[in-house]
Amino acid sequence: MRYLIVKTEVRAVAPDELAAAWENGYRIRDEQTSPEFRRQTMFAEDRDAALHLARALAAVGSVRAGRQRVKVVMLGDRPRR
């Protein structure tokens, strides 16, 4: 199975946007409607390699400070061309 490892910027949210989302019951950060800006992407062929890369990216200062985040996405078991 293949995995995508992505380091993204954390999008800032204004207090009034947060209050409106809470009041109306919708998500403030929805990757399907408005994805965060990607800073770095990598691929891995198995889960252990993906988690190893994710841990390495998570050690970066901007991730530890909360300005960026690391995501691991399973891409599926499609044959490579």
Is residue 26 predicted with pLDDT exceeding 80? Answer: yes
Q: How confident is the model over 18-34, as a mean pLDDT?
A: 84
The pLDDT value recorded for residue 81 is: 59
The pLDDT value recorded for residue 52 is: 97
Question: Rounded distance, CA 13 to CA 22, Å?
Answer: 12
> pLDDT tens for residues 9-20?
998 888 998 898
Among 43, 32, 31, CA closest to 69: 31
The pLDDT value recorded for residue 11 is: 85
**Cβ neighbours, 10 Å, residue 14:** 9
> pLDDT tens for residues 35-79?
888 999 999 999 999 999 999 999 999 999 999 999 999 997 665
Is residue 3 predicted with pLDDT exceeding 90? Answer: yes
In the chain, domain spans: 2-76
